[in-house]
């Protein structure tokens, strides 16, 4: 009989000695095993009364791999939780704004955009668009926090100076010598982090350049090599796989991508289902390509040459997965963050003797500029004209503009992201592969017809009246 759902695990445990009633007489010593099993020799066990009704046992067994169930939330929130939720409103809003900016569409630059990029009005336009910049909006929580700390310290020192507080309260001030000694160290931390982020961006951009160039070259080789009519359908499918690979790789490295929607116009339904059911979508497309090459009616040397084109795809996958899975060492990131926080918490105390209430705007400007550098190493490309002189003292950097122009906010000094792929115009790069393949297919017949006509003309010129020309 099944046990009811209300029965707990403790009820199912073996009964202890207290729940067993001892028999009134002692069992004989010479009982056999068969005689011992007889019911009359069993002690009486006391079980709880089981209610009749549901006859299914419903409980969850927890193991080391099972997630611990979340406790039920309290009916009423405490004042501390309410205060924490209020304080998290601005940071959560800033994070949402930042993430929306990370998912925005990137475009490749053309001649008109480069002219706009070099325009004399760019500084004014960048200044007017400051309030809409997601980097500046994401800096609101830390900048406001440190500015409020400066206001509190300035108010406290003013009250102490005006004897509004008892004499036991000291004036918060200190020498600026520690800051003069540690300023180069902070500058070096920020510059090294900037260079590390730029190198990661450059590595990701080069990897995608090789993938796009490899896809275009691979498609061109397929179009020119496969000429038999029996391989027409296989040739069409192979070109679809080649065009779909950059899209699958893009969805593989961009969080929140809809690979089904991106590939629905590139692959057939059955092929799309196979790709979607696979765990590694780019690798699945490489298998499609490799198997299709084996089915083509080609010479073995030609097939081996085409198989070698897949190496650029494998290298692209490896580099992208390495950049996604391996950030800048976290100890370095944490050290920079802690240094910045301690710097700005003590900055009003250091500047009080020389600036007094000017420590408030000074802390605001310092926090906005230095945290902007640290933030942009993680978030996106931006311009830092305000702190260019500070950076140039540590590391000589000239104008640095990406040759592909992946973001319109770059000016003289570009600080590139630690996670590069959301900043690259991957959608436009994938569309360029598709457009190039379609154009190559459309022009292939015209080129062949034109070359065939030239061959006939040349053969006619070699013969005159049925005799070869001398």
In the chain, what are the domain boundaries? 110-159+329-417, 203-326+426-448
Q: Which of 341, 314, 351, 430 has its CA nearest to residue 145?
A: 341
Average the pLDDT over each of 136-150, 240-254, 259-273 and give the range with the smallest value: 136-150
Query: How far apart are the C-alpha atoms of 283 and 318, rounded to whole Å?
Result: 11
Cβ-based neighbour number of residue 106 at 10 Å: 17
Find how far residue 212's CA is from the centre of its chain: 21
Does pLDDT of 172 surpass 60? yes
- Name the band, by pLDDT with cuts 50, 70 and 90, for residue 53: very low
Select from 404, 424, 416 the least CA-distant residue to 380: 416
Share of the chain above pLDDT 90, in %: 21
| 414-463: pLDDT as tens digits | 333 566 777 677 888 888 889 988 888 888 888 888 887 877 766 666 65
Look at residue 469 in the predicted model and tell me its pLDDT.
55
Alpha helices by DSSP H, 19-120: 33-36, 79-87, 89-102, 111-117
The mean pLDDT value of the chain amounts to 72
- State the pLDDT at residue 466: 54
Tokens 């770059």 locate to 410
State yes or no: pLDDT of 105 exceeds 80.
no
Which residues have a Cβ under 8 Å from the Cβ of 431 and sit 6 or more positions away? none
Instruction: Determine the average pLDDT of the residues in 267-281.
Output: 93
- pLDDT tens readout for residues 323-343: 888 888 888 888 888 888 898
Burial class of 193 by CB neighbour count within 10 A (0 to 12, 13 to 18, 19+): buried
The neighbouring-strand residues paired with 45 are: 20
> pTM of the predicted model, to two decimals?
0.63
- Interval 71-82: pLDDT, tens: 444 445 677 777
Q: How far apart are the first and last CA of the chain?
A: 109
**What is the pLDDT, as a whole number, of residue 70?**
47
Greater model confidence, 174 or 85: 174
Using CA atoms, how far apart are residues 335 and 164, in angstroms rounded to an integer? 39
Beta partners for residue 21, in sequence order = 44
The closest alpha carbon to 362, from 142, 139, 147, belongs to: 147
The predicted structure's pLDDT at residue 418: 66
For residue range 359-384, what is the model confidence (pLDDT) as tens digits?
Answer: 999 999 988 888 877 765 554 333 22
Residues in the chain: 470
Using 50, 70 and 90 to split pLDDT, how confident is the model at 39?
A: very low
């Amino acid at each position: 009989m099944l046990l009811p759902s209300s029965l707990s695990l403790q009820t199912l445990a073996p009964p202890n000695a207290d729940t067993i009633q001892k028999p009134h007489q002692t069992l004989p010593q010479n009982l056999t095993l068969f005689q011992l099993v007889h019911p009359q020799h069993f002690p009486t066990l006391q079980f709880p009364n089981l209610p009749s009704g549901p006859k299914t046992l419903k409980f969850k067994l927890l193991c080391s791999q099972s997630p611990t169930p979340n406790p039920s939330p309290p009916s009423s929130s405490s004042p501390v939780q309410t205060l924490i939720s209020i304080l998290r409103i601005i940071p959560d809003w800033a994070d949402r704004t930042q993430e929306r900016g990370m998912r925005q569409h990137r475009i490749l630059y053309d001649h008109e955009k480069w002219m706009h990029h070099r325009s004399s009005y760019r500084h004014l336009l960048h200044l007017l668009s400051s309030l809409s910049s997601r980097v500046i909006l994401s800096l609101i929580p830390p900048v406001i926090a440190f500015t409020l700390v400066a206001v509190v310290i300035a108010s406290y020192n003013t009250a102490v100076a005006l004897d509004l507080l008892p004499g036991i309260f000291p004036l918060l001030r200190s020498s600026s010598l520690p800051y003069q000694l540690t300023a180069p160290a902070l500058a070096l931390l920020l510059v090294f982090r900037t260079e590390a982020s730029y190198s990661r961006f450059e590595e990701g951009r080069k990897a995608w350049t090789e993938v796009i160039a490899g896809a275009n070259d691979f498609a061109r080789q397929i179009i020119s090599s496969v000429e038999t009519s029996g391989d027409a359908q296989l040739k069409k499918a192979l070109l679809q796989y080649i065009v779909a690979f950059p899209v699958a790789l893009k969805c593989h490295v961009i969080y929140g991508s809809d690979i089904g929607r991106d590939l629905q116009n590139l692959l057939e339904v059955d092929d799309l289902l196979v790709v979607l059911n696979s765990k590694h979508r780019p690798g699945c497309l490489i298998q499609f390509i490799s198997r299709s090459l084996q089915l083509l009616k080609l010479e073995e040397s030609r097939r081996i040459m085409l198989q070698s084109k897949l190496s650029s795809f494998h290298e692209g996958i490896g580099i992208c997965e390495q950049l996604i899975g391996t950030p800048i060492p976290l100890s370095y990131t944490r050290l920079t963050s802690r240094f910045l926080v301690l710097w700005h918490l003590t900055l009003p105390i250091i500047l009080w003797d020389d600036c007094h209430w000017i420590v408030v705007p000074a802390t605001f400007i310092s926090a906005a500029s230095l945290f902007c550098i640290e933030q942009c190493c993680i978030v996106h490309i931006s311009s830092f004209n305000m702190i260019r002189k500070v950076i140039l003292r540590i590391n000589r950097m000239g104008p640095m503009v990406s040759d592909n122009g992946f973001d319109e906010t770059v000016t003289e000094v570009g600080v590139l992201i630690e996670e590069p792929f959301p900043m690259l115009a991957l959608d436009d790069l994938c569309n360029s592969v598709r457009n190039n393949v379609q154009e190559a297919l459309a022009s292939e017949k015209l080129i062949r017809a034109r070359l065939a006509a030239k061959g006939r003309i040349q053969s006619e010129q070699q013969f005159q009246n049925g005799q070869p020309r001398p």
